[in-house]
Structure 1
């Protein structure tokens, strides 16, 4: 998915129009007819210059606000070429703005050395104390003074990495920055794209860095990085043959990619990653903010949700808006957003966001137009309805516990028996559980996995399932889910993956998006899922081993949802300890997994306890 977004930026110039083969971007000619393109090297306070493309309306009879996108994915095309579209959506180009696109420091045609998720500084005592916040401040100051016919107001937006740069734009605290929309923003690289609770997201990162790494020096270039070619789409087979994580360098990258090595060298949440957590700095913000994300964003769900929650907590007087739809990474910016895989969302959702939320937000703060947008706009999956709230999670959502019970049962009633019951399974890292049914679709992070039918795992003995009775009424969960497991293992480390599923009744009918040879009757739709690397159960920065055979609590957050399990459906929870190659394999011994040898990988028996004295349950918020 990282590489998918990178390709979109390079090939479409960050366009939001989803082109199909043989189609022509309808905005391309409009942009050329109505805008003049300029290119600048804008000086920063430390003397470095950042390459910036500026598209100015040819109609100079009125003043325009700025809309800016700072990116590490290139502002191409360079020179005489024009972007095929401008702004977050087509409406912006037709309404008239001064559009600014900037290569961030150390990327493409900008000077400097690139830092992934540049550490932000709380103080800037000298001109050498620079970060993305100061670079944004200096850019805005230059634009206000050098681009004619501007109205003195600036808006910033961006998706994924550009979403991070939008968040850091808030840290410029420039008075002219009046509106910003971090969309799927990376907030904490260790927690967003790199590791989920310590489990390394292998397919999302392995193929990304060769293409992303087009330069590692202070020499501006238009040269693109080369994509790694594995020679197969069967990532399950490829990564099994690759062996331990250290073989990524021994066999392929040969220590030539600095950013990849930073990930290999820092598997724990150490100071390297803490310095790159932008959430620590989101205070004293005066700019109006619209945070946008997708419920099925496999990369930066954490970033969107926690950017919003942090901003609201630390800046109670600032207008902060939040939108979550049924989208994959960046899915709101292009296309209909009407389905994901086999799951139908009841109609287009992307256009609603672009027209009624995003456009109105920026138009209001940059041009003074009326705006009727609720503080929180969220799409309720399961019933396919937009809901508005004053805050997220909704105040009326009440916390409840959903217990795993003996016999594969799932209930809101706690276990009552005196016997210390448990279920156990043998986890073999040399026969890991696949994350999708088709192994020929595992060389990349298939976005459809987040709603995919889990019946393909029904014969696996290393996947536990707990299922509720048929629901006699709708059950709506709104807010974050916490897994609270009581476990034991014969090893000294273990991963645990918890998946929350919506099990359809046998009477469920197919829809127009249902795949070939798929039946929605009995479909086990994944609603939310997250792994946990057990050695980080007490602290992400201080891993510690399990004591074999000892019952141990392992608790972690599965992130937020707004989903209705409809009457007649069932709720299911699945637990497993491998999820390959979505996440890397755990040797199941306490060691540095990035440096582990093939001989370190051991089978282990894991127990999940379901008793009154050692309960396992999910904490959920029920409407």
Structure 2
């Protein structure tokens, strides 16, 4: 999750490895062809933001700006120290732009107090009414007036948090901002990175904030935060020994990290988080936008999908493009993107995106080159490993169908019949939570998103429902909604639904590349590849801002969105759906008692017997979108 952002952006902000060569070649090119300047750009409220500007030495023509606003530092600092590459990819560096990197307000060398996802204001009545939109506006205005030989056009890009700052750049509504690409953008911090439907993403957040917290005042610094040392890489063991969530402060942070405390103090989707949802503000946008994300983004999948959907819905006359590939967080910006874990994608996908989508998009809007038939929607169809283009997402060709959980562990598009009620039950024990990978570490283990689920075989606290062998391809395109009917013996419970592609016993092996260039064979016979999973904290089943307890023993509907996929379950494969109530330590443990989980005591944790109903009286099903050409 966020912990990967620090690693990824240290690479992607400097520029991805592209077709022209490695970082050594680019570093020499930067020094030979660009001059670096450093500025403290004044904002309307008097604060100054540190900004590095790299200007082409060739001044015989005018250049557009490419800007990246970041909370992860514009280092290296000093006019004589240069980044090893510039722009989203090496192509931009060699094509010639004025590259701008800015520390956002309150981070590193910029003045002000940092707020995590600064709330955006609809009205700015005084100079003190500032947000990321006004900071972007003031920066663009200053650059246009003070950097010579610009062509009056600005493009902005960024991945993850810088993706959020790219989205807020749209809210500047500056007329010179003609192109922007929010990539894996955080859109709603509560829903993207912190909580998924109220379930807290523990392992992703816990280790992030010490390193992120390099300052909590208005004093600029080049100092970075320190890493938290857990003394072990066994995440399952560490977090079990840590105990309840309140022990994060009682044992470790001691209330010293303001941003962590904001998360602990606001477990519900209250006004604190609503104010930080940038999606509410994405109207009246005139700038052309390219939204990019990855199907296997463990951090900000929600942000990419919903930033696109909101922009497309609220701004129908604005060019809004959308690309989703088989990538992890930021995976399109570097490397080949040809595999994840044991799963392969038929060849490189990253270089194609960088050249034919990203570079094509910015070159057209900033330099007037032909758009080369860039489709509104470019999505990679996993399972068959093909790029598909559409006019909008989800595709209008996709038809809604229900995929039912049936007695006997069956899964079918045919609804259950009869008048007899039926259910399956399991005991969920917080003292023995289901692991999310075979050996959970202190990291996100992002490969879990395509991981083989057979490592959980034999556990009694997971329900599995499997279709018959498919007699034709089944392609699901768009979001998935879980609709469960459940009854529990406690007053709260989590429910996690996993959608799994079960390979046939004669599936061919996958050939994967090792880091040293050698190859290895991975047996795919019977492989249970997770395609999508998503939790729901049951007390938020009716409203994220108003949790309410379950009535023990009462049959209760619990419905939630699993987010979008474009995946083909091939002929000869089977579709599996699993239901469980823990996924540790990816997700914190639910005490299964209606309490404030961030303040729960050890005595609050209890077992719960959870029933999932499978009858016509109380049907449980997934609502999916199936392409009608299958």
Aligned to 2:386: 385
Whether the aligned pair in 2 keeps the contact of 1:17 and 1:25 (CA below 8 Å) is no
Distance 1:257 1:75 in 2: 23
1:606 equivalent in alignment to 2:598? no
Q: 1: distance between equivalents of 2:14 and 2:492?
A: 45
User: 1 CA distance for matches of 2:409 and 2:24?
Assistant: 53
Counterpart in the other structure of 1:453:
452
Distance 1:59 1:50 in 2: 27
Equivalent-residue separation in structure 1 for 2:256 and 2:399 (angstroms)? 51
**Structure 2 CA distance for aligned equivalents of residues 336 and 409 of structure 1:** 38
Q: Report the CA distance between 1:514 and its aligned residue.
A: 8.9
Greater mean deviation of Cα atoms: 455-464 or 509-518: 509-518
1:57 — aligned with what?
56
What is the CA-CA distance between 1:470 and the residue it aligns to?
0.1
Counterpart for residue 620 of structure 2: 616
> Which residue is 1:182 aligned to?
182
Q: Which residue of 1 aligns with 2:43?
A: 44
Cα offset for 1:4?
A: 2.1
| Candidates 515, 523, 526, aligned match of 1:522 | 526
Q: Deviations over 1:252-276 (max 9, x none)?
A: 0000000000000000000000000
Q: Which residue of 1 aligns with 2:30?
A: 31
Cα distance between partner residues in 2 of 1:132 and 1:17: 26
The question of whether the paired residues in 1 share the 8 Å contact of 2:488 and 2:610 is answered with: yes
Partner of 2:567: 563
2:153·2:178 contact (CA, 8 Å) conserved in 1? Answer: yes
**Using the alignment, how far apart are the partners of 2:189 and 2:181 within structure 1?**
19
Cα deviation for residue 18 of structure 1 reads 5.4
Aligned residue number for residue 426 of structure 1:
427
The correspondence of residues 369-448 of structure 1 with structure 2, limited to 5 A, is 369-371=369-371, 372-439=373-440, 442-448=441-447
Q: How far did 1:518 drift?
A: 5.1
Q: Deviations over 1:439-491 (max 9, x none)?
A: 3xx21111100000000011100011000000000000000000000000000
List alignment gaps of at least 5 residues for structure 1: none
Superposed, 1:94-493 pairs within 5 Å as: 94-371=94-371, 372-439=373-440, 442-493=441-492
Is the CA contact 2:380–2:388 (under 8 Å) kept in the aligned structure 1? Answer: yes
Distance 1:552 1:375, change over 3 A: same
Change (3 A) 1:402 1:8: closer
Name the CA distance, whole Å, in 2 between partners of 1:41 and 1:160: 24
Please tell me whether the aligned partners of residues 199 and 495 of structure 1 are also in contact (alpha carbons under 8 angstroms).
Answer: yes
For residues 480-527 of structure 1, give each alpha carbon's deviation from its aligned partner in whole angstroms, at most 9, with x where no partner exists. 000000000000000000000000000011111299795210000000
CA distance in 1, matches of 2:81, 2:3: 24
Structure 2 CA distance, aligned partners of 1:421 and 1:606?
13
Conserved 8 A contact 2:65-2:153: yes
Residues 222-277 of structure 1 deviation map (CA, whole Å, 9 limit, x = unaligned) = 00000101111100000000000000000000000000000000000000000000
The total of aligned residue pairs comes to: 617
Q: Distance in 1 between matches of 2:85 and 2:384?
A: 34
- Give me the whole-angstrom Cα distance separating, in 2, the residues matched to 1:494 and 1:9: 36
Structure 2 unaligned blocks of 5 or more: 515-519
Question: Aligned partners of 2:293, 2:44: CA distance in 1, in Å?
Answer: 33
Distance 2:9 2:72 in 1: 6
2:92 corresponds to:
92
2: CA distance between counterparts of 1:174 and 1:595? 44
TM-score (norm 2): 0.97
What are the within-5 Å matches in structure 2 for residues 59-74 of structure 1?
59-74=58-73
In the alignment, the residues of structure 2 paired with residue 7 and residue 225 of structure 1 have an alpha-carbon distance, to the nearest angstrom, of 14
RMSD: 1.2
Q: 1:401, 1:334 → 2: CA distance?
A: 38
Once residues 28 and 244 of structure 2 are traced to their aligned partners in structure 1, the CA distance between those partners, rounded to angstroms, is 51
Residues 401, 155 of structure 1: alpha-carbon distance in 2 compared, 3 angstrom cutoff: same
Compute the displacement of 1:52 (Å).
Answer: 0.1
Distance 1:138 1:317 in 2: 26
1:583 aligned residue (573, 587, 590): 587
Distance in 1, matches of 2:219 and 2:509, equals: 55
Cα distance in structure 2, aligned partners of 1:74 and 1:468: 50
Structure 1 distance, partners of 2:479, 2:595, is 31
Tell me, in whole angstroms, the C-alpha distance in 2 between the residues paired with 1:59 and 1:579.
55
In the TM superposition, what is the alpha-carbon distance from 1:304 to its structure 2 partner? 0.3
Q: Quick check: 181-190 or 414-423, which moved more? A: 414-423
Question: What residue in structure 2 maps to residue 4 of structure 1?
Answer: 4
